Amino acid sequence: MLLNTCIILVSLLTAVSPIITKAAHLNSTLLHPHQHPDPESVVQELQWKVNASVSRREMLGVYEKDQSSCLTGNPIDDCWRCDSNWQTNRQRLADCAIGFGQNALGGKGGQIYIVTDSSDHDAVNPSPGTLRYAVIQNDPLWIVFSGDMLIKLKEELIVNSYKTIDGRGANAHIVGGGCITLQYVSNVIIHNIHVHDCVPSPISNVRSSPTHYGRRTKSDGDGISIFGGSKIWIDHCSLSNCRDGLIDAIMGSTAITISNNYFAHHDEVMLLGHADNFLLDSAMQVTIAFNYFGEDLVQRMPRCRRGYIHVVNNDFTEWKMYAIGGSANPTINSQGNRYTAPSDVHAKEVTKRVETGDDEWDGWDWRSDRDIMVNGAFFIPSGQGAALKYAKAYSVEPKSAGLVDQLTMNAGVMGGSRGNDGISSGSYSRSTGDNAAGGGSGSSNNRGGEEYFGMIFGGKAPLQLGPPSILFSFLIMLSSLIILYEYDAVFVVTIA
C-alpha cells in the first residue's frame, strides 16, 4: 500500500512540477491574491478621479465661492474635508483612498477606540487606553486620540489587521524604538500622524495580538515598516529623521497607497522591494501620490526592486544623490510630478539604475509623462514601445505638473506645522490649528461637542480576512510537496 501511494505521489509531483515552476517564474501574480491583474486600469482610474476633482473645484469656484474654499482638486481631501460634520463620520475616510491601496478598509465598521494614555511601559502586557493595546486587538478598530500626545515607544509597535490610526483633531507624535511595524497584515490605514526619530529597538518580547507574543530580533529603525503586508494606506503623515527608512515595503507587500505625506531630514527615504532575487516582490504595486519631498533629503524617493510603481503629482523639492532609483526591472510610471534638481551639477538626474549595466536596463519600463523639470533636472526613460502602450492605456490624460502646488498644498499632518521641526523625542510642544482640518484640540476629551468616552460606534461584527483562493492554496500545497520530494524521494523509495 505504501509503495503504491509513493508511486502515485511521485508521478503527480513529476507531472505538475514543471507547470508550477514555470508559473512561479513567469508570473508571480498567480501566487499573490492581492495583486491587481491590470495595473494600467488603476492608473487610469486615479487620473479620472484627479481630473473630476480639479474640474469640480474650478466649476464651483465660479458659482459657489463659499464651498469652493474647501475644495483643492485633491480627490482624497475633497472626499471628506468639505463635510463640516466629519468628526461624527470619521470612517468615511476609508472610502476616500485612491490607487493600488484604495481597498484598504482599516477599522471601517469597527468600534471607535480612544487613546487616553501616551505611555508604553510594557510591550507584552500593554495597558488599556494605550495605542499599543489598541493596535494588537483582533477586531476592527478606528483609533483616535483624546488630545495632543507624544508616544515614546520602547519596542516596535506591531499593528494587527483592520486598524485605522486616525490623528485628526489631535497632534500625535510617534517616536522611539522601532516605530510602526505592519507584518503579514492587511487593511491598515495610518492617517495624520507625526512619525520621527525612530531608532532600532533591542531584542525583546513584543505582543502582536491578544493571544500571542514572541521574541523579536533587533529592528531596523524604520518609521513605518511594511513586511508582507497588503491593502495599506498611509496618508497625511509627516515623517523625518529615522535611523533606517521612513517607509519600507518589502517581502511581497502589495496594494499600497502612500499619499499626501511630508518627508524631510532623511537619507534613505523609501525602499520598495526586499532584494533583487526575491521574486514575490514582482507582485508589488504601489501608488505614490500628492506627497511633498522636502528639505534635507538625499535619495530613495523611492528605491524600487521589481513591481509596478506609480509616482503621480508629487513635489520633489530636494535630493542630494537621486530621486527615483531601482534595480531588478521595476516598472516606474512617473506622471505630472515636479522635480527640482539640486545645485550640484553631478546630481541633476532624477533617476538612477542601481548597480546595473546600461545594456541590462535599456529595456526596463521607466516613463516620464508631463513631469516638470526644474533647475536642470532630467529623467532618463527606458523601454522600447512604452510610449505606445501608455498612449493606449489612457482615455483620460494625466494632469500636468502645473497643478502640483494645488494638489500638495496640505501634504503632511494637517493643522499647525506639517513638518516635525522643533519636535524631538525629548521635547514636545502643543500646536493648534483649524480643527476641521485636523488641528490640535489640546487635551480636551470633547471633540466638536461630541462625547466619545463610553460610546461605541458602528459595532458591527468583525470583518474577517477572506480565505485564499483554491488555486493559491493548491499551488502552495504542491510546492511544499515538491520540496519534500526533491529532498526525500530516495528515502521514500528505500523504505518502500
Residue pLDDT, tens place only, 48-91: 999 999 998 888 764 555 555 688 999 999 999 999 999 999 99
What CA–CA distance (Å, rounded) separates 309 from 340?
20
Residue pLDDT, tens place only, 89-99: 999 999 999 99
The whole-number pLDDT of residue 386 equals 53
Confidence of residue 466 (pLDDT cuts 50, 70, 90): very low
The whole-number average pLDDT for the span 464-479 is: 41
The CATH code belonging to domain 39-50+85-451 is: 2.160.20.10
Confidence of residue 451 (pLDDT cuts 50, 70, 90): very low
What CA–CA distance (Å, rounded) separates 249 from 129?
29
Is the per-residue pLDDT at 164 higher than 80?
A: yes
Q: Which residue has the higher pLDDT, 465 or 94?
A: 94
Mean pLDDT (the chain) is: 81
Residue pLDDT, tens place only, 314-363: 999 999 999 999 999 999 999 999 999 999 999 999 999 998 888 899 99
Number of other CB atoms surrounding residue 287 within 10 Å: 27
The whole-number pLDDT of residue 225 equals 98
Q: What are the domain boundaries of the chain?
A: 2-33+470-495, 39-50+85-451
Residue pLDDT, tens place only, 366-400: 999 999 999 999 999 999 645 545 444 444 556 66
CB within 8 Å of 479: residues ≥ 6 apart = 20, 24
Alpha helices in 340-461 (DSSP H): 358-361, 386-393, 404-407
C-alpha cell at 57: 473645484
The whole-number average pLDDT for the span 229-234 is: 98
Is the per-residue pLDDT at 486 higher than 90?
A: no
The whole-number average pLDDT for the span 30-39 is: 82
Q: What residues are annotated to the active site?
A: 300
Is the per-residue pLDDT at 479 higher than 90?
A: no
pTM over 0.95: no
Q: Provide, for the chain, the percentages of residues in helix, strand and coil under a 3-state DSSP scheme, each rounded to the nearest 5.
A: 30, 30, 45
The whole-number pLDDT of residue 356 equals 87
The whole-number pLDDT of residue 85 equals 93
Write the burial class of residue 467 (CB in 10 Å: 0-12 exposed, 13-18 middle, 19+ buried).
Answer: exposed
Query: Contact at 8 Å (CB) between 342 and 314?
Result: no
